[in-house]
Structure 1
Amino acid sequence: MIDTVFTLPLPVFLLAAGITLVAGLVKGMVGFAMPMLIISGLSSFLSAEMALGMLIVPTLVSNGVQALRQGGAAAWASIRKFRLFLMVGLVCLLLSAQSYAFLSPRFLFLLIGLPIFVFAALQLAGWVLVIAPQHRRRAEWIIGGFAGFVGGVSGVWGPPTVSFLTALNTEKSEQMRVQGVIYGLGAVALLLAHVQSGVVNAVTLPLSVLMVVPAMVGMMIGLRFQGRMDAARFRRVTLIVLVVVSANLIRRAFVG
C-alpha cells in the first residue's frame, strides 16, 4: 500500500492528507461536510474521478464512528425513525451513480449548491423553515430522493440531509447520530456503486484507505469542539458551514 503513495508526487499526497484532516475537523464539529470539502479541495489539483474515489473510505469510516458513538441501539432507533428517507435516498444513489460519467460536474455543483445556499442564508437571517408533522413523509420522499441523486454522482449528500434535519428542529446529539447513520449507509452504497462504475479501482482504493488516518485525527479534534457547543451555537455553526460550502460549489459551477 505504501507504494501507492508514489502514484502521486509526495507534496501532492501530503496536500491531499492536509485537506482531508481539515475536512475531518469540520465533520467532528458539525457532523457533515467531509465529502464536500475533500472533493472540492482535491479536485482543484486532481481529477474529479480520483478525488471522488479517495473520499469514499474516509467517509465510510468516519460516519461509522459517528453513528455508533452512542451505541448500536441508538443507531438502530435512528434507522427505524428515518427509514423512508434512507430507502428513497439509497435507491436514487444507486441509480444515479451509474450516470456519473454522463453529467456535467458544473451542473451538479450548481444543483447542489444553490438551493442549500438559499436555505442556509435565509435561516441565518432569521427565517425559520419548519416541516410540519403532516408533511414529513412528503419531505422525506423529495429531499431523500434529491440527496441520493446528487450523492451518487458527486459523493456529496450532506447539505440536503442537514437541511432536512434542521427543518425538523432535530436535537443536537440525535442530529449528529442520525447524520452518521444516514451518511454511513450512504457511504456503503456509494462504495458498492462506484466499484461497479470503476471510480473505485486499484489506484484510488489504496489512496482512499490511507486518507482514513488524517480524516480520523481531524474528526477527533473536531469532536472536542462540538462537545462544548450548546444547541443554539451548534445550529448556527452548522448553518455557517452550509453557507460556506454551498457558496464554494456555486463558485465552481461558474469558474471551475
Structure 2
Amino acid sequence: MDLIFNDLSGIAIVFAISVTLLAGFVKGATGFALPMIMVSGLATILPPDVAIAALIIPTVISNVWQSLRGGGIQAAVVVARKFKIYISTLLVFIVIAAQLVSVMPQHVILLMLGGPIVILALFILSGKTFHIRPDRRNISEVIVGAMSGFLGGLAGIWGPLTVTYLTALDTPKKEQVRITGVIFGVGAIVLGLAHVRTGLLNAQTLPLSLFMILPVLVGQTLGNRVQDRLDQKKFKRLTLFVLIIAGLNLVRRGLM
C-alpha cells in the first residue's frame, strides 16, 4: 500500500478512496465530472501532478464503459462520426497544451476554465437558449474543441466545456452520455500518452492510477442507476447544477 499511496496516513487513504467513489458516482449519474472531482479532492492530500496522474487510467476505463453502455461499439462509432471534427480538434490541442503544463500558472488555467462554465450554465439554467445554425456547426466544433483541448492538456479537465456545448445543443440524454464517453475516453488516452512523455505518469504514479480503477467503477455503477431513472429535463438540470458546482470549485481553486 505504501507503493500505491506514497506513505499517506490511513485517514488520508480513506479520504482518497471516498473522493474517487464520489467522482465515479457523479460520473455515472451525469456522464462527466470524474477528473474535476478527483483532481480537486486528491490535490488536497497529494501533489497536483500526482493527483492528475492518478485519474488518467480510471478515466480511460470509465469512459470506455460509458461509451459502450446501452448500444455497444456500433452506437459509439455512429456518435463519434457525428462529432469527428470536435474530437479531432480536441485531441490535437490536448497534445499541444500538455507540453505547457510546467509553463503556465495553474491558477490562471483554473480561472480561465471555471468562470465561463459558471456563466454559461447559469445562462442555460435560466431558461434561455442559443442555437448554432447548421452551417456554423463545423466552425463551432473547431472553436470549442480547441478551447477544451487546450484547457484539458493544461489541467487534465476538458469535460465541463464539452458538456456545456452538448447541453446547449439540446443533445438527447443517451446520445450525450455516449458521445461524452467517446470524447473523454480518447482524450484521456491521448493525455495519458502525452504525460508518459512528460514523465507525469511513471513507475511511481502508475500503481495509484491503476488502484483507483476499482472505486471509480463501483461509484459509476451506482451512479448509472440514478441516470437511468432521469428523464431528459431532469438530466439536463442535474447536469447544469453539477457544471455550476464544478465551475465554482475551479474558480475557488484558481483564487486560492
Check if 1:129 corresponds to 2:130: yes
Query: Cα offset for 1:47?
Result: 0.9
Assess if the C-alpha contact under 8 Å between 1:53 and 1:204 holds in 2: yes
* Unaligned ranges ≥5, structure 2: none
In structure 1, what is the equivalent of residue 7 of structure 2?
8
Query: Which AA in structure 2 matches 1:224?
Result: R
SS in structure 1 of the partner of residue 102 of structure 2: helix
Which residue of 1 is the match for residue 39 of structure 2?
Answer: 39
8 A Cα contact 2:124 2:168, kept in partner: no
1:126 aligned counterpart, secondary structure: coil
Q: Distance in 1 between matches of 2:168 and 2:123?
A: 12
Q: How does 1:22-61 map to 2 (within 5 A)?
A: 22-61=22-61
Give the alignment's TM-score, normalised by structure 1: 0.97
Q: Which residue of 2 aligns with 1:209?
A: 210
Q: Distance in 2 between matches of 1:185 and 1:108?
A: 22
Task: Determine the structure 2 residue equivalent to 1:17.
Answer: 17
How far has the Cα of 1:122 moved from its partner?
1.1
Query: How many Å separate the matches in 2 of 1:166 and 1:114?
Result: 17
Change (3 A) 1:140 1:14: same
Supply the distance in 1 between the matched residues of 2:249 and 2:113 (Cα, whole angstroms). Answer: 11
What is the rounded CA distance, in whole Å, between the counterparts of 1:25 and 1:55 in structure 2?
15
Match of 2:103 in 1: 102
The structural deviation recorded for 1:130 is 2.0
Deviation at 1:205, TM superposition (A): 0.8
- 2:122–2:244 contact (8 Å) kept in structure 1: yes
Gaps of 5+ in 1: none
Q: Can you list the C-alpha shifts for 1:36-66, whole angstroms capped at 9, x where unaligned?
A: 1110111122111010000101101000000
Q: Normalising by the residue count of structure 2, what TM-score does the alignment of the two structures yield?
A: 0.97
Q: Spell out the pairing of 1:133-152 with structure 2 (5 A cutoff).
A: 133-152=134-153
Rounded Cα–Cα distance in structure 2 between residues aligned with 1:158 and 1:235: 15
- Corresponding residue of 1:176: 177
* Corresponding letter in the other structure for 1:140: E
Residue of structure 2 equivalent to 1:154: 155
Percentage identity across paired residues of the two chains: 43
User: Structure 1, residues 75-94: CA drift from partner, whole Å, max 9, x if none?
Assistant: 11111111100111100000
Could you tell me whether the CA contact under 8 Å between 1:20 and 1:215 is conserved in 2?
A: yes
Per-residue CA distance 1:107-152 (angstroms, 9 max, x = gap)? 0110110111100011111211222212111110100001111111
Cα distance in 1, alignment partners of residues 208 and 131 from structure 2? 41
- 1:72 corresponds in structure 2 to 73
The CA distance in 1 between the partners of 2:130 and 2:17, in whole Å, is 37
* 1:152-175 deviation per Cα after TM superposition (whole angstroms, max 9, x unaligned): 111100011101111211100000
Once the two structures are TM-superposed, the CA of residue 203 in structure 1 deviates from its matched residue by: 1.4
Count of aligned residue pairs for this structure pair = 254
| Mapped partners of 1:238, 1:204: distance in 2 | 31
Residues 64 and 181, structure 1, Cα contact 8 Å, conserved in 2: yes
User: Which amino acid in structure 1 is aligned with residue 74 of structure 2?
Assistant: A
Q: Which is worse superposed, 189-198 or 12-21?
A: 12-21
Counterparts of 1:169 and 1:95, CA distance in 2: 30
Of 161-170 and 222-231, more deviation after overlay is shown by 161-170
